[in-house]
Structure 1
């Protein structure tokens, strides 16, 4: 059994970025989020809320045209790339303007998604791939960080590792495949594993069973995107997003049942949770 050190409260306190008085939205960067579809519009909203609450300067959501009216009343601060997945697949999006990119929540794993992901791989900013953007592929030519955020079932699908074997030694398999693929793997679950391709790896101590509900992974992807835009060190952004996501669930469960939390309530708790680490 491979054991990795815990990312601690002290680690978080010393690596969270400060909001400079002289800063402006350009200082903290623009993120692109490809998320949501006609059957899963809420994924774009949940991940969008996560990003906007996590230090980003400006967020652009690429989603189906019919999804946009559902998001605007709740998240009017966002701008939109109409039918963004299609436009990305057609190579008609200027990816150079984004500080970080995330793709996958609420998106079907089809040919268009694969073409769009292929285009995203050519970008020169950190790239998060989640949900529908997680398939078996190689990342050899990519220089900038790639962050994969699979739950165990998705990890098994993209690596071929038997699910039972994976669950018996999650740390080992996350590290092995992180190095093999040359990517960062955030293997979600109880004590999420964050494995970097150079062999560095951490265990996240926060979170509880309240996170075992649809939408919480979308929220994490958004938080990670936002933190990539405001952190100077991308590894700290990934680690701190996972840590604070878990703390929000822990905060919820202090006075309420873990059965009852909804994913969007994580981002409602985040402002007070984050303040506690400043």
Structure 2
């Protein structure tokens, strides 16, 4: 399909996409061929780029002035070397293009701005609780679960914890008594290991720098998993699992209650 320069709307869309960095490979090639066809095409593109660079449409505080935009557009056109003076006589329809193009730019960036704000507003806030050195900290979570944090340990979780998910991250060591919830599993992420439970009492140790992550189960059941190469492991009461992060392997030991946090 041979599209001439008179098809302003089509080429305006391609030029806007190029200036905003959203031009596809096929459209980029099509626009390059169009620019190579004539000096008139290249001058038209240069005029639009000058307007783009001068209008500050990317600034969310920008207030559009259509008269100022047209005057700016006309002055920019006059500044190009080699353009005869008669080109400064701009037909009425070109005045319309000069006025409408900033509106298109402003609308485009307004949509992007509110989309980014919407994404930011949907992002959940993260709460973090840290136990001071030399002490233990007791925490009751929103779902009724109890967490005892050992010295220097930290847990973090989203502010909607207990509503849509019950996932927390642990750095250090903690003893947990998990409130039962058949619909939303309780998940602890620690040292590359994921401990998934429904209702149980267990202890997890995953201090930074330790090559072993240890999980001791008092009662109930937990399911341990990690990356794709690690086969899931389910613990029974009074069993301890030791996950070695270097070899990516889990070993299970029985009756090691001395590991439980007092």
Same fold (TM over 0.5): no
Give the number of the structure whose alpha-carbon radius of gyration is greater.
2
Structure number with the higher helix fraction is: 1
TM-score computed with the length of structure 2 as normaliser: 0.23
Comparing both chains, which one has the higher relative contact order based on Cα–Cα distances under 8 Å and sequence gaps of 6 or more?
1
